[in-house]
Chains A and B, each alone.
Chain A
């Protein structure tokens, strides 16, 4: 695990120090930063290491019409994180565009042209902030050059204002629209020629607006799709309306890997509007993004297709599913809990844990369980595909248009160029729509209807039964404390099926990126540490769920740290600050395998000082230490994920009947520089509510390989009464570090903080999620 020489060289130059120097905004420094960034980023880390990399050519992303209308091309999926607003805002600010004259256009799926478009991993702003600013700065320079040419003055005498270029010496000015045609003919300036705006020149970037902790600072006018959303005009995947469309639903095997044995479709074909049934062969296990197989019903409207499906008589053959047909959540949990009692594959080790445990004055031990869950975006999977003259065209709410294109091209044996993917708005994603299986399934059906669009609609039951489930997890921890309650040893065994089982023969162990999500990167300063990963086989499709394996890791570690504090008789906050130790930068390569969310460990170390700061801020804002009163308590948890830092404190009350009220959540968040604080707040608020569901309600359980929850009556997600009465988000002002992720890091600490608060209020320790009726007084 040694670093290459050029890495060391770069480390010596200290890109981070350079970044910190940027606060002054000197142009030369900016230019230097880009060059250094380019040399490294395109090689190993960050945006440059992603398939397709980054693109900063203004001609790709920015169009200016002669009437002055500026169109910014957005190359990332919009699924509620607000990227269509925030990224466009970044470009518009740097360009100097008048917000009223800015429009957004969604890029088609084309990574060759637009750079990486796979919208997951909380990467959109972190990877595209710099390229979009460069693209806009280049466009601004081209407009200035066009004006200088027209006025026949040196370019340094002109400057761009808001939506115009002025020549102060003569008082002349021309609008962006007037200059657009001439500017377009100019060469794109080199990156070294670019001078980005200084912070004081910015109008949108980093500026607070909208609702801040219950107070409206200023109405939030910038939401690009806001008006369309509130008037019902926004186009999601399900809203694509092409002439001559046929509608389809699919009956899929209830057990992962099963196949159709026989089908009687005679009654289905008699349903008014049903046109055809189609038997789909699944590709078996591992399924990756391929259709699961089954029987499709194609009709003149969605309802007729659903009625037709209801009338199908299908016999399933579970033989190819193997032992998936015996999969039961209860038995599986017991098997993992048993396996957790024995040593597993060693992931990280320092000191002699067993010896330290034997010597300990006190030993603390606990096992935590987190069940399968499903993303359940409000818009269930849906896609429209039309195949005509050897070309396929898809319209769908997908997070990863590239994988969608590849999947369709693979299925239809077409060249990639013959497959077009139009990305609609996503009615929620949360990882579900990273998997384009539903679009590939629609393409399979469209193959049978040359020239006719097929809209494949998944029902909510389909969505829950045939999800890419969040991995079920058992985490077993044991710690030794000395006479003062100080931790001397820490042993953590984590067991979950791996997402890798979706793509290859089941490895039965978590992979690098899974362990790197808060398990091996655990930053506590304890003399003896051993982290192990015993095996856990997969029996269903396992997939990404917002913040992924950070969920069980944070849930277990943060719950356990609280249990240790209780055992030591110490205040929880004081205890975890002591566990973390003094502020320092933990090198990912020394604590983990350096996966680090794909980011440069020099730019993005695990910064204990930042971790401490969010803990101190959240507890401070929440009034930590105050007298809570009977049945009331505060609970804390924190976590580092997607190279950002989150801490949360809940103030809860549990009454005599076991009824829980969440009075308040105080969330402190540090993602480094904030492009659009307003949308960062909204992501934190939303993650808080989603996390409450993970803690209290959400579970998909299996019996005989079949998901036992059908719809929102059984698969419970938060409703308005479950939300905290007050959610306060405290953004850490930290422009000097490198930008971190936003969409996911708010989620992992929510469940443990809530359960720790429940303990503080009641003395009841929750070790199995969801809480469900565990608080009910019998």
Chain B
């Protein structure tokens, strides 16, 4: 049995140790906000937070996912996550939207670590998240907008 704590809720799952966290979240727990894009940590669509650190769930076996797992579904209840989401909405970042959950997870982890990042730091931090629609300029602008927004406690 594998125990996962996702968004504060404990799940006891009868799954193999080496199943990637992505598929446990999607197919077994049934939460669909975390996306499959490549399976080899090249695109970032599957990004979750593991103890606050942006983590590619498609290459993280469930046996290694010991700690607090947070997914895009919980970001609206997170002060930093919500301001990032709001910046995304204000600037109309999303096109198809498929990668944007992963982008927001990565951006939120960045802003928690570095609340006022330099442009260069944002570009470096986001380089692992692909967007085929090509929304990068707006993603960058949205992260800068979120960084300039005070978190309401």
A581 to chain B, nearest CB (A): 34
Is A220 touching B136 in the complex (CB atoms < 8 A)?
no
Contact digits for B123-143, partner A, Cβ 8 Å, 1 yes 0 no? 110111111111111111100
- Would A229 and B92 be within 8 Å (CB), given that A302-B23, A712-B130, A717-B130 are in contact? no
Contact digits for A710-729, partner B, Cβ 8 Å, 1 yes 0 no? 01110001111111101100
Contact digits for B109-152, partner A, Cβ 8 Å, 1 yes 0 no? 00000000000000110111111111111111100010000000
**C-alpha spacing A220/B42, complex, angstroms:** 31
Q: Which of B15, B23, B39, B129 contacts A460 (CB 8 A)?
A: B39
Q: Let me know if B49 is at the binding interface, CB within 8 A.
A: no
Is A303 touching B137 in the complex (CB atoms < 8 A)?
no
Identity of the chain A residue whose Cβ is nearest the Cβ of B75 in the assembled complex: A231
Is A219 touching B134 in the complex (CB atoms < 8 A)?
no
Is A229 touching B27 in the complex (CB atoms < 8 A)?
no
Which residues, 452 to 466 on A, are CB-close (under 8 Å) to B?
457, 459-461
Q: Let me know if A56 is at the binding interface, CB within 8 A.
A: no
**C-alpha spacing A710/B120, complex, angstroms:** 30
- Would A229 and B97 be within 8 Å (CB), given that A219-B89, A378-B132 are in contact? yes
Chain A residues near B139 (CB-CB < 8 A): 720
**C-alpha spacing A459/B92, complex, angstroms:** 29
Q: Let me know if B94 is at the binding interface, CB within 8 A.
A: yes
B123 to chain A, nearest CB (A): 5
Q: Let me know if A380 is at the binding interface, CB within 8 A.
A: yes
Is A232 touching B89 in the complex (CB atoms < 8 A)?
no
Is A230 touching B45 in the complex (CB atoms < 8 A)?
no
Identity of the chain A residue whose Cβ is nearest the Cβ of B96 in the assembled complex: A80
Is A231 touching B33 in the complex (CB atoms < 8 A)?
yes
Chain B residues near A685 (CB-CB < 8 A): 134-135, 137-138
Is A79 touching B73 in the complex (CB atoms < 8 A)?
no
Is B16 touching A272 in the complex (CB atoms < 8 A)?
yes
Is B30 touching A682 in the complex (CB atoms < 8 A)?
no
Is A226 touching B94 in the complex (CB atoms < 8 A)?
yes
Is A380 touching B37 in the complex (CB atoms < 8 A)?
yes
**C-alpha spacing A239/B140, complex, angstroms:** 27
Which residues, 427 to 473 on A, are CB-close (under 8 Å) to B?
427-430, 457, 459-461
Contact digits for B6-39, partner A, Cβ 8 Å, 1 yes 0 no? 0000000001100110010011101111111111
What is the predominant secondary structure among interface residues of chain B facing chain A?
Answer: loop
In the complex, identify which listed stretch (A158-166, A168-176, A208-216, A400-408) lies at the interface while the others stay far away. Answer: A208-216
Which residues, 75 to 107 on B, are CB-close (under 8 Å) to A?
75-76, 85, 88-92, 94-101, 104
Identity of the chain B residue whose Cβ is nearest the Cβ of A232 in the assembled complex: B33
**C-alpha spacing A688/B20, complex, angstroms:** 35
Which residues, 339 to 382 on A, are CB-close (under 8 Å) to B?
376-380
Is B89 touching A682 in the complex (CB atoms < 8 A)?
no
Contact digits for A686-728, partner B, Cβ 8 Å, 1 yes 0 no? 1111100000000000000000000111000111111110110
B70 to chain A, nearest CB (A): 11
Chain A residues near B97 (CB-CB < 8 A): 80, 225, 228-229, 234, 236, 425, 427
Q: Let me know if A247 is at the binding interface, CB within 8 A.
A: yes
- Would A721 and B123 be within 8 Å (CB), given that A238-B32, A685-B135, A712-B130 are in contact? yes
Identity of the chain B residue whose Cβ is nearest the Cβ of A211 in the assembled complex: B91
Chain A residues near B55 (CB-CB < 8 A): none
Chain A residues near B100 (CB-CB < 8 A): 229-230
Is A686 touching B95 in the complex (CB atoms < 8 A)?
yes
Is B94 touching A229 in the complex (CB atoms < 8 A)?
yes
Chain A residues near B35 (CB-CB < 8 A): 236, 238, 378-379, 427
Chain B residues near A239 (CB-CB < 8 A): 32
A306 to chain B, nearest CB (A): 8
B33 to chain A, nearest CB (A): 2
Q: Let me know if B40 is at the binding interface, CB within 8 A.
A: yes
Q: Let me know if B50 is at the binding interface, CB within 8 A.
A: no
Chain B residues near A7 (CB-CB < 8 A): none
B106 to chain A, nearest CB (A): 10
- Would A233 and B33 be within 8 Å (CB), given that A214-B141, A713-B42 are in contact? yes
Q: Let me know if A199 is at the binding interface, CB within 8 A.
A: no
Chain A residues near B43 (CB-CB < 8 A): 378, 460, 712
Is A459 touching B96 in the complex (CB atoms < 8 A)?
no
- Would A712 and B42 be within 8 Å (CB), given that A80-B96, A302-B23, A690-B132 are in contact? yes
Q: Let me know if A301 is at the binding interface, CB within 8 A.
A: yes
Is B96 touching A723 in the complex (CB atoms < 8 A)?
no
Contact digits for A294-336, partner B, Cβ 8 Å, 1 yes 0 no? 0000000111001000000000000000000000000000000
**C-alpha spacing A232/B71, complex, angstroms:** 9
**C-alpha spacing A228/B45, complex, angstroms:** 16
Q: Which of A80, A220, A227, A460 contacts B95 (CB 8 A)?
A: A80
Identity of the chain B residue whose Cβ is nearest the Cβ of A463 in the assembled complex: B38
- Would A227 and B134 be within 8 Å (CB), given that A232-B32, A233-B33 are in contact? no
Identity of the chain A residue whose Cβ is nearest the Cβ of B28 in the assembled complex: A301
Q: Which of A226, A247, A303, A378 contacts B37 (CB 8 A)?
A: A378
Chain B residues near A771 (CB-CB < 8 A): none
A463 to chain B, nearest CB (A): 9
Q: Which of B19, B89, B130 contacts A230 (CB 8 A)?
A: B89
Chain B residues near A234 (CB-CB < 8 A): 97
- Would A226 and B132 be within 8 Å (CB), given that A231-B33, A238-B32, A685-B137 are in contact? no
**C-alpha spacing A457/B132, complex, angstroms:** 19
B104 to chain A, nearest CB (A): 6
A-B contact pairs, 25 of them (CB 8 A): A80-B97, A81-B95, A211-B92, A216-B145, A221-B89, A223-B89, A223-B92, A225-B94, A225-B97, A226-B88, A228-B97, A229-B94, A230-B89, A230-B101, A302-B27, A377-B98, A380-B37, A428-B132, A428-B133, A429-B96, A685-B134, A686-B133, A686-B134, A711-B38, A720-B127
Beyond A302-B23, A306-B39, A726-B137, 15 extra complex contacts between A and B, CB < 8 Å? A220-B92, A221-B89, A226-B88, A228-B97, A233-B33, A236-B97, A301-B15, A378-B130, A380-B36, A427-B35, A427-B98, A428-B133, A687-B134, A712-B42, A719-B127
**Nearest 7 Cβ contacts at the A-B interface:** A232-B33, A689-B134, A427-B98, A80-B96, A80-B95, A232-B72, A229-B97
